[in-house]
Structure formats: structure tokens, C-alpha cells
Amino acid sequence: MSETKIAADELRAFSLQIFEAAGVNSVDAEYATDVLIWASLRGVDTHGIRNLKRYYIDTAGGVGRRDGVICFDAELTTEFESPTTAALNANFGLGLSVSVRAMNLAIKKANETGVGIVTVRNSTHFGPAGYFAHMAVPHDMLGFASTGYLFANGQPKSVVPFGGLLPMLSTNPLAMACPGATGPDFVLDMATSVVPVNRVEMLEELGKAIPAGWSLDKNHQTTDNPDAVQKMEPLGGATTYGGHKGFGLAVAGWILTGLLGGAWRKDADANRVLGDNSKTKHGFAQEGIAHSFAAVRLDQFGDPTLIKQGLDAMTQTFNDSPAAPGFDRVIIPGQLEAETEIERREHGIPLSPSTVVDLRSLSEEFNIPLSI
């Protein structure tokens, strides 16, 4: 299928106006737009502008997503705070902007104490985890971000535990970023499932089959048909040796988000328990999506300049190493995305036909022009 390209600045202006027209305040609209455009520029199209309508604008109206209805006018409140930590309640606000505010607080605490850790509960889909981890990089800090959800009673298109039949976890991604000196920053952004659900959805939109080993059908058999997907596999597989590692990472990420963030509760609002079954399990249920963010100053461990130069040397060491058959080179996480951003800033962001349809629909709905 052919792709339409659009300049990043034009797409950014459009997204900003759409959020504001939908009722988001100007600051949060800018925060949310920056997250989506960052993902689209870096080639993380599963979490970029393709989600503007169906994940965020439609969901605020109560349709289109299973991540809970978004309240654009929600207030982000503090439930616990120390010099190095904070636990926040998003009150069902826009996860994109809520997460920017939370990471800004983690960075502020790290500036003051060396480290900052912030959790959020009662939130909604927050987009690309890598964006929030990467926010720490300009401050000479390590950044970390994760999000998670536990469907205690199971939910279609969720991740099965290793050795289990019931899909119970979201793809529980985690991200870490470390600044380089002159070379690319290290930016790891990964689901703890084989792939995120968004990628299956994107291939479904494009009318493409999915590779075997990504997901399972209702009979717990691997499928290449996106329409038949009922279960996502943990990284390493649902039953094969290695899947226990992906499952373990998913649960560890959930502990940092759902458990420490206070989302897994005895008094959960049933209206904010996601999925088809909101009943508690052993007295607990998860209220809204939960996130975790952290920032750590490099100077707590030595000279930041030397640390960043060391990262550059590490990157070049891998780049210089021999590539396996079928590969042009060895690269670090974040390197290809940084190169993609340079290319897309110059030549525009490609949009799939389905994304073009969505953006044109928003353009008509809010009477905001877009030249695609």
C-alpha cells in the first residue's frame, strides 16, 4: 500500500489543535502531542499519531478502547510524597500528559536529591514508554518508565502467564534511557510480550498476516490471522523454555506499577476496573492503568561527561563488531530510531491509509484543516 507523507511540524500543529478542540487544556495538549510526534518521528508507528483518534479522542467519548474512559479535565493529585518519591492519582486523566507531568516530577526530585521515583494510578494508555525515559537524557540522567495492568479474571488479547491458559496481563512495557556524548542515546523500549497488541492491530489494519509465535487463538494454538488472536505470548513463549523470563519481567513491571502505585486495591471502583469482568480476586482488583517513572543523576556515580563518552565507546564497539548473515551491522537500542528521526524530519512522517482515514475524520469532526 502507498503511504502519505506529512511534515512533522504540520502534523504536530494539527494534533495540538485536535486535543484542544476536544477539551484538553493547552499545556496538556502540547505534552500529549509531543509524545505522539516523538514516536512517529522515530518510527515507533504503533504508538504514534495513528493512535490519536481511536486511543485518545474516541476514548474520551467512551468508545473505541478498553483502557477506560479518559477524563480530559481530571486533576492530577498527590497521595504520598517524600523527598525522593511520590505516588500520584491521575483520576482517569489523559495518560500521555499525566505521564509527562509525573516524569517531570521524578526529574525534579532527582535534581534535588540525586534520584526521583514516581508512580501513578487511575491513569489511561500512556503511549510509548521510551518517550518518558528519554525525558531524563537532556538532564544528564538515566531515565526509566513502565506501565502495567493485571486482568485478574482474564481478558481477550491480553498476555497469558507462562504455563497458563488465561490471558491476564497487559503487555507491561518498560523503558530505560542513558545519554551519549556525541553518539546516539541508549533508548530501550520493549514490551514484555513477544510484541505489543498495537502491532497486531496495525498489521490487521494493513491486511497483513502476523508471524507465527506472536499470539494464540482461542484454542491456545499459534495463529497468523490477526482476527483470530485471543492471547498474546510472553517474551520467550507461552510454554517454551524462556517464556518464564518474559512472564517474570511482566510481573516485575506490574509490581513497580500496579502494586507500588496503589492501583491493585480492595476498594477499587468497579467502573474503572478494566475488562469484561470487574469482580475482585481474593479481595483485590486493579483500578485504572498504573505507571512508574524514575530518574537518576549520572553525577551520583562519577563524571557525567566520562559516563556519556563511555556509552559512545560502547556503542561504537558494537557497531564495529561483525554482523551476522542478513544484517548490515550491529546497533544498540535507540540507534535506528535516532536515524529514522533524522530522515523523517527531512522527508516527512509516513501515514498508513487507515491513519489517513482517521486523521481526515478528525479534521472533519473538529473543522480543523489538514493537507493530506
Q: What CATH number is given to the structural domain containing 363?
A: 1.10.1530.10
Residue 170 sits in the same domain as residue 241: yes
Residue 372 lies in a domain: yes
Separation of alpha carbons 343 and 36, rounded Å:
17
Residue 221 lies in a domain: no
Angle at 15 between CA 31 and CA 44, to 5 degrees: 75
C-alpha cell at 3: 503511504
Q: Which domain holds residue 117?
A: 74-194+233-316
Residue pair 363/369 in contact (Cβ under 8 Å)? The answer is yes
The DSSP bridge partners found for residue 19 are none
Residue 182 sits in the same domain as residue 100: yes
* Helical H segments across 42-179, by residue range: 58-60, 95-113, 129-134
Q: What CATH number is given to the structural domain containing 80?
A: 3.30.1370.60
Residue 271 sits in the same domain as residue 357: no
C-alpha cell at 356: 489517513
Residue pair 125/93 in contact (Cβ under 8 Å)? The answer is no
Residues near 251 by Cβ (< 8 Å), separated by ≥ 6?
Answer: 169
Segments of the chain assigned E as strands: 4-6, 77-81, 85-89, 115-123, 141-148, 158-159, 174-178, 186-190, 215-216, 231-232, 264-265, 285-286, 289-297, 349-351
Residue 190 lies in a domain: yes
Residue 6 sits in the same domain as residue 38: yes
Residue 24 lies in a domain: yes
Residue 54 lies in a domain: yes
Separation of alpha carbons 344 and 338, rounded Å:
10
Residue 173 sits in the same domain as residue 273: yes
Query: How many other C-beta atoms lie within 10 A of the C-beta of residue 364?
Result: 11
Give the pLDDT of residue 1.
45
Shortest CA distance to 96 belongs to which of 56, 45, 136, 143?
Answer: 56
Give the pLDDT of residue 269.
93
Residues near 51 by Cβ (< 8 Å), separated by ≥ 6?
Answer: 36, 125, 127, 198
Residue 244 lies in a domain: yes
Residue 250 sits in the same domain as residue 365: no
Instruction: Point out the domain boundary residue: 316, 339, 358.
Output: 316
Render pLDDT for 223-256 as a digit per residue (tens, 0 to 9): 999 889 999 999 999 988 899 999 999 999 999 9
Give the pLDDT of residue 2.
59
Instruction: Point out the domain boundary residue: 316, 338, 359.
Output: 316
Residue 140 sits in the same domain as residue 36: no
Residue 95 sits in the same domain as residue 184: yes
Residue 39 sits in the same domain as residue 187: no
Domain count, the chain: 2
Residue 257 lies in a domain: yes
Residue 164 sits in the same domain as residue 254: yes
Residue 86 sits in the same domain as residue 183: yes
**Residue 1, SS3 per DSSP:** coil
Residue 42 lies in a domain: yes
Which residue is it, cell 480543523? 368
| Spans in the chain with pLDDT lower than 70 | 1-2, 64
Residue 39 sits in the same domain as residue 94: no
C-alpha cell at 219: 484454542
